[in-house]
């Protein structure tokens, strides 16, 4: 398995949070997938694969899932950096970054749910959807801890920022599970969704980290 997303970065940031701050400083709801028309297969199965070849719509969808996952990862790591930096404007920085993360997680969850018609019975799809729903759940705790930063000062601010960094770790862990689910699907020769992930360049970039 590839390395967990950003865990080493978080450990460094957490220690930095206390130092910098001391000196001065919903998730998206669940709904059933909305089937969309699916294009005819445009590729033959991968060598050794026994599952049906993915449609063009499935490959496009898979690439969007992976690019959305990368976006959330980058933004959550950015929140940890903002929290660790402290300073007089840390409340605004955390709030602004949190708004971006909330929107991006919502987009990721919606993208996964909008899988092309016929994808829902694929075990690879089920595992990826379950993983992204956990990201959505951990986002709720992160939103709550980020809200505690605004207006906090002194020891309360240090504590709030440390909690934000810790909660970003939980979100990143759940994102790592999403990447693991995508990687597992890619290795499943019976999975049409796995072939779609293999065919999408965005997924190769995500799983190579």
Provide φ and ψ at 67, rounded to 5°: -70, -35
Residue 122 has phi, psi (to 5 degrees) of -80, 130
Question: What is the model's pTM?
Answer: 0.76
The residues spanned by each domain of the chain are 7-17+56-207
- Are 181 and 130 spatial neighbours (Cβ–Cβ below 8 Å)? yes
Residue 49 has what pLDDT? 54
Q: How far apart are CA 69 and CA 31, in angstroms?
A: 19
Q: Does domain 7-17+56-207 have CATH number 1.20.1300?
A: no
pLDDT at 85: 85
pLDDT block averages, 10 residues each, the chain of length 209: 43 40 39 41 50 91 98 96 87 94 97 93 93 96 94 93 95 97 94 95 92
pLDDT value of residue 128 = 96
How far, in Å, CA of 35 to CA of 44, rounded? 23
Q: Are 20 and 13 in contact (CB under 8 A)?
A: no
Q: Which residue has the tokens 């950015």?
A: 78
The token pair at 74 is 């980058």
Strand, coil or helix: 149: coil
Contact 109, 175 (CB under 8 A): no
Q: What is the pLDDT of residue 24?
A: 40
pLDDT at 46: 52
pLDDT reported for residue 16: 43
């Amino acid at each position: 398995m590839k390395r967990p997303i950003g865990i080493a970065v978080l450990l460094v940031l957490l220690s930095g949070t206390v130092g910098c701050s001391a000196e001065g400083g919903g998730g998206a709801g669940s709904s059933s997938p909305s089937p969309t028309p699916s294009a005819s297969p445009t590729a033959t199965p991968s060598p050794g694969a026994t599952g049906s070849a993915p449609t063009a719509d499935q490959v496009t969808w898979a690439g969007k899932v992976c690019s959305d996952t990368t976006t959330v990862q980058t933004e959550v790591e950015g929140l940890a950096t903002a929290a660790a930096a402290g300073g007089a404007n840390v409340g605004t920085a955390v709030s602004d970054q949190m708004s971006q993360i909330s929107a991006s997680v919502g987009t990721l969850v919606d993208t996964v749910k909008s899988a092309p018609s016929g994808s829902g019975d694929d075990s690879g799809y089920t595992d990826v959807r379950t993983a992204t729903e956990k990201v959505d759940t951990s986002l709720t705790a992160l939103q709550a801890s980020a809200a505690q930063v605004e207006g906090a000062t002194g020891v309360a601010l240090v504590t709030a920022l440390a909690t934000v960094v810790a909660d970003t770790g939980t979100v990143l862990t759940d994102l790592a599970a999403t990447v693991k689910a995508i990687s597992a699907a890619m290795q499943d020769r019976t999975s049409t969704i796995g072939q779609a992930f293999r065919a999408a360049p965005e997924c190769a970039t995500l799983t190579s980290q």
